[in-house]
Structure 1
Amino acid sequence: MKLSVVIVNYNVCYFLEQALLSVRQAVAKLGQPVEVFVVDNNSADNSVAMVRARFPEVILIENKDNPGFSKGNNQALRRATGQYQLLLNPDTLVEEDTFRLCCEFMDAHPRCGGLGVQMLDGQGQFLPESKRGLPTPSVAFYKMFGLAQLLPRSRTFGRYHLGYLDKNEAHQIEVLSGAFMLLRQAALAEIGLLDEDYFMYGEDIDLSYRLTQGGWQNWYFPGTRIIHYKGESTKRTSVNYVFVFYRAMVIFAQKHFAPGRAGLFSGLINGAIWLRAGAAVARRWATAAAPILADAGLLYAGMYALKTYWEHNQKYVRLPYPPQYMLVAVPVYIVVWLLATWLSGGYDRPARTGPVMRGIVVGTVLISAGSNFLDSWRFSKALIVLGGAWAVAALVGRRLLAHWLRHGNLRLSETRPKRLAIIGSAAESQRVRQLLAAAQVPASIIGYIPPAAVQPGQGPALPPSSEQLGELRQLPELVRIYELNELIFCSKDLPASQIISLMLSLPPQPTVNYKILPEDSQYIIGSNGKNASGDYYTLDLNLRLAQPAQRRTKRLLDLLASLALLLATPFLIWGLRQPGGLLPNIGRVLLGRRSWVGLRYTPEAAGPPAVLSPADAAGPALPPADAATRRRLEFLYAKDYEYDMDLRTLWRGWRGLGSR
C-alpha cells in the first residue's frame, strides 16, 4: 500500500463530500494502491449516510461520541498500512497531482518524516500556516502580542510563520499543519502516533517536534497546492477557540520544555488567553452595539440642539431647563425610543423605514403618557414630539447613508444583488441556476463561461449562446467588464488544479468571491477569507425560527421566563431531576449563553445551546436513542415556530430545567 489517507469528520458533510471527490481524482492520478479512511466523530448531519452512498471505496469508522481530533486520527492510523500516511482535514480540496508529487518528493528525500504543502484559503490567498516555526516562549510572545504580524519577514519576529522563507521554494521547517500532514509510516513507528492529551489543536505541533527530535526532517513543499476552508470546523473568532488553542500550547510547553521555561511559557500563555478572550468578547459586543450607540449619540445631540433652540426662541419663560433634563430625562427618552425601535424590527436586516417609524411613534406615545404621571419630570410635550420627529429623521438618515455607502442606492429594502458568472458547461450552468433559485439566493446571474473552446477536429463549432460571456482566457477582462463579484466553478467540468490556477490568475480583488459546485452535489461551497467560516448554498428550507422577529420574541420570552423561574425557585427545586442546575441555567439564559427551549440535537443550528428541546417533551413514546426522530421534531419546531411552542415545552418538561 503506497498511501493511506485519513480524514476525521465532525458535522461538515458538504465539505467532506468535496474533499472526498478531490481525493478520488488524486488517487486515480497516483496510479498506486491507496486506502482512504473517514473517521466520523458522531456527526448528526448525514455525513455517514453520504459517505456510504457516494464513496463505497472508503473505510468508514463510526464513533458513537466525539473523542477529538487526535484520537480519531489514531483510530485510523492503527489500521493504516500505507508506506505514507496523510492526515487531511475534511474542509480541503486537493489538486489531481497532489498525491503523486508528494509521494515522489518523499521517495527522493528518505529522511523526510513529514511533509506539508502550499495551502490557500477559499479566496485563493496563501495561508501562512503552511510553514511554521516551533512556538518557543519568545516566538509565542512575538505572535501573541502582534510583533509577528507587524514584521512578518523578520528572522527574529516572524519565526512563527517563517515569513522570511520564500513560499514558492521548498524548505525544511519545524512545524507542519494538521490540515495536510503527510507522514512516513516508518517515522511514526519510531516516534509514536498523535498525543491524545490534545483534544483539538496542538497535536500537529507536538508530532512535528517529536519527528525532528527523532532525527527526521519536516519539509514544506510548494510543488502542489490545496484549498483549506479555514474556520469551518471551528469558529476562530470565538472565545472558546481562544481557550482551546492556547491551552493546547500550554500542554505542549509542559511536555517538552524544561520546568523553568515551561512555567514562563504557561504564565505567558495564560495571560494571553485572557487578553485574547477579552478582546474577542469586546469585539463582538462592539460590533453588536455600534449601530445602537450611533443612534443614541445622534438622538442625544439632536435633543441637546432642540433644547437649546427651544429655551432661546420658543419657551414662554426664557429660563434654561434644569440639569436633570439632559442628564436623566433625555437618556430615558432615548432608551424608550431605541427599545421600541428594536422591538418593532428597526434593527433587523435588511434595514427598512417602516419598523423604525413605527418604533419611534410608539416610543413617543409611551414617553408622553408616562410623563403625565410624573409632575416633577414633566418638562415639555413639544420637545418630546419634536424629539420623536428628530429620532425618525436621524435613524432613517443614518440607515440611508450606510446603505448608500454599501450598495450605491437609497432603497433600504434592496441590497445590491450578487453579480455572478458560472464557469462550466451549459448543462452545469443550468444546474447552478436551479440550485440558486431553490436556495433563494439574491443574485443576478450574468451568464456562464465554458471551460474550453471547441478544438479543431472535435466537431462543428456551435454559435455561442446568448448567455455565454466569452472564453476562459478572457476571465480577468470579463470580471472587470461585467463588474462580477462572485464566480462559481463547476468541478465536473474543471479539475481542481485549473480552478486554483484561475483563482490565482486574477489580481487580488476583495470584492470577488469564489465558490465551487462539486460534481453531482447539491451544495455550492466557498469561503470569503482565511478567517471566515466556510459557507454554502443548498436546498434547505427557510426556517421561521431564524427570522429576526421570532428570535426577538424568543429572547424576550427567555428573559420573562427566567424572572418567573427565579421567583418560583423555592417551590420548583424540589421536583427537578437536577435541582443544582436551575440557578446556573437561569444565569446563563439571562446572559444570552443559553435558551430555555431550542435545538439541542441539531449541532449545525445557530443560536445559543438550549436547556430543553421540543423533543424532550415528547413523552415516553419517543425512544431515548432515536436521534433521527429528535432531529425531525426539532426541524418541525424551527420551521413553524410560535412562542406558545416554548411555553408548552416548558410546561411539559419543567422537571428538566436544571439539566446541564
Structure 2
Amino acid sequence: MPKVSIIIVSFNVRSYLVSAIDSILKSNYSNYEIIVVDNNSYDNTVDIVSDKYPKVNIISNDENVGFGKAVNQGAKIASGDYFLILNPDTIIEEDMINDLIEYIESNKNIGMVGPKILNSDGSLQLSCKRSFPTIKTALPKIFGLDKLFPKSKWMGRYNLTYLDPDDNHIVDAISGSCMLIKEGVFRKINGFDERFFMFGEDIDICLRVWKENYQIHYYPKTKIIHYKGKSVNIAPYDSKRAFYHAMDLYVDKHYSSTLGVLSKFFIHLGIRLNKFLSTVSDKKSMIISLILDSIFITGAFVFAIDFRFGNFTPILSSQGFVPFIYVALWVSVYAMLNLYSRYILSYSRAFIGTVLGFLVAVLFTYFFNQFAYSRLVIITAFAIITFLIPGWRVFTRYLISRGYLGVISQSKSLLFSRKTIIAGSDEEGIRIAENILKRFDTGLDIIGYVDKRYPKSEEKLPIPFIGIFKEIRQLINTHKVNEVIFSSSALKNKEILDFMDSTRDLRLTYRMVPNEQDILLGKSNIEDIGGIPFINIEYNIFHKLHRFSKRIFDIIISVFVIILFAPLIIWFFILGKAIKIDFWGENAEIISSRIFDTKIKFLKDIPLLFNVLLGKISLVGSSLIDTKNANPHILCKPGITGLDRIRNIKVGPDTRKAAEHYYIQNQNLKLDIEIIIKTLING
C-alpha cells in the first residue's frame, strides 16, 4: 500500500480545518501522514490542532507565505509516494484516498488526478475539471456565454461543461483544492511556482505536469465537499487584485515566447475586462436595489401627479426636475442608512428611510416652494413609497427563504425562517436539535428528523421524526424544506456527499456539524449554535425608551383590535363563552383574565387584550403559565404570544427560559412585530 502525504495549507479556518482532519481520520486508507502548514493564523489554529491531533505534523510560519510556497514547505518533510494536496475547507469521502490511489496506479501515464468536487449546496464545482486559459477558451467565459450555452463545445470549453460530470475524463487541469500527484512528478517539476502567492498556482502546476508528458485525469467516482474560499474571505489583502496579478503572471510566464505582441495585448485586455465585469458583478445587489428604489419612487410621483392634476404638467414644466429631485432626496436618505451596502434587504431601515425621506421632502418644498405643486402629491407618493420600498425587500426575503433566489446575506429573521430538517437522529442529532431550539437568532425553523431507518423509540427526540432518506424528495416537497443539517456521527461522509449529489436539483442549503462541536459549517459562514451567555448582558427590554415604545405599541394595537371586534366580543360574552383563567405574572403575581371557548386561537385570546390595556401583560412577552403549575419565575411581563409560540412544537422549561433570555436581550418593535406576524401565520 503506497504511502500518501496529505498536505494542507491553513490560514484562519480552524473550524473547517478540524472538520477536514476529522474526515481524513475516518478514511478507510490507513497508510498516510497529515502535514498542516499554517500561514500565521491568528485564530489559535496551531495550538488547537496540536492538542487535538498530536500525530499531525505542523509547520507554523511567522508570516503568510502564500499557498504554493506553503505546499512546497510541506513537501520537503513529506515521506509519501503520493502527495494529496487538500484545502482545509473540504470534507472527503471515506474511500476517496483509496479510490484515487487505485485509479492513478492503474495507468502509468497519469501524473495527477482529482475527484468530483461539490459546492456546499450539492452543485458541481466547475473548477474541478477545466481547460488551460487561452483567448479561445476565455472569451466565452468573460462574456458569460458559457452559462448560456454550457453544452456547447466551444462556449463551455473553459470549465468543460459539455462533458458528463459523472464520467472519467482526461483534462487540462483540476482544482488545487484536491489533487493527488505522484511524488516523483512533483519533485521533477520542482513543486509549485512560489511566485504565485494565491490563485493560478494550480493551473500553472497542471501545465508543467503536461509538459513532462504526464496526463491529468478527472475521476468522479469519488467526491469531496469544498466550501471554497474561506481563507480568501478573511485575508487582510485585496484578493481580487491577487487573482488578476496571478493571471498576468501566468500569461507572461507561459505565453511570452509563443505569442506576438498583439495577441498578448488582447489577452491582457481580456483580463482587465474580466476584472471590470467581476467588479460590476460584485456590486450588482447594490446596483439593482438602487435602480429598483429609483424606479418605484419615480413611479410613485408620476402616479401622484397624474392623480392630482390629471396631466403631467409639473413634470414637463420643470423639465423633469420633478420627480428627479425627490428621487435624489429619498435615495440619499436610504444611502445614509446603508441601505445600498450593508443593509440592502432591511425592510425596517427602508421604512425608517421612507419616513425620513418624507420629512426631508416636506422641508425641501418649504424652502423651495416653486416645486411645491401640491401637498396631496407628496402625501400620495409617500403612501405608495411606504408600501413599495420596504415591500419589495420583504418579498425578496421571502423568495430567498424559500430557495428561489441566491442568498445576499443569510437571513436570520424570525419572519423568514428557513424550514430545516436534521439528517441523523442519534445522540449527536438530539444534541444539535436541543441547541438550535434554545437559540432564536439562527433563522432556522426545525421541522424534524430524517434518518436511514426509523428509530426504535421517538420519546427522547426533541422534535418529530418525519421520515427516512428513501422518502426524502416527498418529505422536502411536503414540508417545503430549505435546509438540511447533517449529524456527522450518524452518517458516513460518503452517505452525506451522495445525499447532496442526488438532491442538488432541489435548491437546498446543506450544513454540517462537526462531531461534538457547537457550530454549523456552511457556504456563507460558520454559525455558533451553542449556549447563550447570560452574564453581564445588557437587557433591551428594561431600557426606558424600549419600555415606553412597547407600551404605546401595546395600547394602540389592543385598542384597535378591541374596537374592530367589539360586536363579536360582546356576542361571545352574552353567550357565556368567556372562561376564567389564572396565570403567573412578574414577581410571582397571579393575573386573572378571560379567554373565549373557541378552537380559533386568535379569537380565543382576544379577551386578553383588556389585560394588555391595563398593563398587566403585553402583546409579546414571556409564556402564559397556568397557576396550576409551579411558579416559573418569569423575567418579564407575560405576553399573548412570544418566542416559544412561533414554533409548531412543544418546548420544555429550558427552551422556554432560553427564549425569555433572548427576548429580553433583543427586544425591539421590529422583533415584536415579527413575532406577532409569525404567530398569526402559524395559527
Under a length normalisation based on structure 2, what TM-score does the superposition of the two structures give?
0.68
Tell whether the 8 Å contact from 1:113 to 1:216 is kept in structure 2 after alignment.
yes
**Which residue of 1 is the match for residue 589 of structure 2?**
none
Give the percent of matched residue pairs that are identical in Structure 1 and Structure 2: 28
Q: Given residue 450 of structure 2, which amino acid in structure 1 is its aligned partner?
A: I
* Structure 1 residues 24 and 339: alpha-carbon distance in aligned structure 2, compared to 1, 3 A threshold: same
Superposed counterparts of 1:624-643, under 5 Å: none
Give how far 1:217 is off. Answer: 2.4
Superposed counterparts of 1:41-440, under 5 Å: 41-234=39-232, 240-257=238-255, 259-261=257-259, 263-264=261-262, 266-311=264-309, 320-321=313-314, 323=316, 325=318, 327-328=320-321, 330-340=323-333, 348=343, 351-352=346-347, 358-374=352-368, 379-399=373-393, 402=396, 415-436=415-436, 437-438=438-439, 440=441
Give how far 1:116 is off. Answer: 1.1
**Which residue of 1 is the match for residue 467 of structure 2?**
470
Post-superposition Cα deviations, 1:321-365, rounded to whole Å, max 9, x if no partner, equal 485646335433333334445656888576446x65554444444
Does residue 1:508 correspond to 2:505, yes or no?
yes
Tell whether the 8 Å contact from 2:401 to 2:482 is kept in structure 1 after alignment.
no
Give how far 1:162 is off. Answer: 3.2
Q: Output the CA distance in 1 between the equivalents of 2:444 and 2:126.
A: 33
Tell whether the 8 Å contact from 1:97 to 1:224 is kept in structure 2 after alignment.
yes
Tell whether the 8 Å contact from 1:5 to 1:87 is kept in structure 2 after alignment.
yes
Q: Output the CA distance in 2 between the equivalents of 1:243 and 1:209.
A: 23
Give how far 1:67 is off. Answer: 0.9
Give how far 1:198 is off. Answer: 0.7
Q: Output the CA distance in 1 between the equivalents of 2:150 and 2:383.
A: 52
The number of residue pairs the alignment matches comes to: 521
Tell whether the 8 Å contact from 1:113 to 1:183 is kept in structure 2 after alignment.
yes
Tell whether the 8 Å contact from 2:397 to 2:416 is kept in structure 1 after alignment.
no
Give how far 1:164 is off. Answer: 4.4
Q: Output the CA distance in 2 between the equivalents of 1:448 and 1:302.
A: 48
Q: Output the CA distance in 2 between the equivalents of 1:31 and 1:245.
A: 37
Q: Output the CA distance in 2 between the equivalents of 1:157 and 1:382.
A: 55
Q: Output the CA distance in 1 between the equivalents of 2:397 and 2:128.
A: 38
Q: Output the CA distance in 2 between the equivalents of 1:281 and 1:364.
A: 33
Post-superposition Cα deviations, 1:102-153, rounded to whole Å, max 9, x if no partner, equal 2222333233221111111112222232222233332233433444444444
* Structure 1 residues 252 and 478: alpha-carbon distance in aligned structure 2, compared to 1, 3 A threshold: same
Tell whether the 8 Å contact from 2:126 to 2:161 is kept in structure 1 after alignment.
yes
Tell whether the 8 Å contact from 1:439 to 1:540 is kept in structure 2 after alignment.
no
Structure 2: unaligned runs, 5 residues or longer = 403-411, 538-664, 667-683
Q: Given residue 447 of structure 1, which amino acid in structure 2 is its aligned partner?
A: G
Q: Output the CA distance in 2 between the equivalents of 1:126 and 1:345.
A: 35
* Structure 1 residues 380 and 244: alpha-carbon distance in aligned structure 2, compared to 1, 3 A threshold: same
Post-superposition Cα deviations, 1:430-466, rounded to whole Å, max 9, x if no partner, equal 3212443447212221111244457xxxxxx446757
Partner of 1:161: helix, strand, or coil? coil
Q: Output the CA distance in 2 between the equivalents of 1:360 and 1:132.
A: 48
* Structure 1 residues 207 and 362: alpha-carbon distance in aligned structure 2, compared to 1, 3 A threshold: closer
Q: Output the CA distance in 2 between the equivalents of 1:502 and 1:293.
A: 40
Counterpart pick for 1:480 among 477, 482, 486: 477
Q: Output the CA distance in 2 between the equivalents of 1:262 and 1:227.
A: 41
Q: Output the CA distance in 1 between the equivalents of 2:339 and 2:113.
A: 53
Q: Given residue 111 of structure 1, which amino acid in structure 2 is its aligned partner?
A: N
Superposition RMSD on alpha carbons, in Å? Answer: 3.6
Q: Output the CA distance in 2 between the equivalents of 1:292 and 1:57.
A: 54
Q: Output the CA distance in 2 between the equivalents of 1:154 and 1:352.
A: 42
Superposed counterparts of 1:422-461, under 5 Å: 422-436=422-436, 437-438=438-439, 440-453=441-454, 461=456
Post-superposition Cα deviations, 1:505-543, rounded to whole Å, max 9, x if no partner, equal 336111x2111111122221122xxxxx5554455989x
Q: Given residue 444 of structure 1, which amino acid in structure 2 is its aligned partner?
A: D
Q: Output the CA distance in 2 between the equivalents of 1:320 and 1:154.
A: 53
Tell whether the 8 Å contact from 2:122 to 2:503 is kept in structure 1 after alignment.
no
* Structure 1 residues 396 and 30: alpha-carbon distance in aligned structure 2, compared to 1, 3 A threshold: closer
Q: Given residue 423 of structure 2, which amino acid in structure 1 is its aligned partner?
A: I
Q: Output the CA distance in 2 between the equivalents of 1:36 and 1:447.
A: 37
* Structure 1 residues 147 and 295: alpha-carbon distance in aligned structure 2, compared to 1, 3 A threshold: closer
Q: Given residue 29 of structure 2, which amino acid in structure 1 is its aligned partner?
A: L
Superposed counterparts of 1:569-580, under 5 Å: none
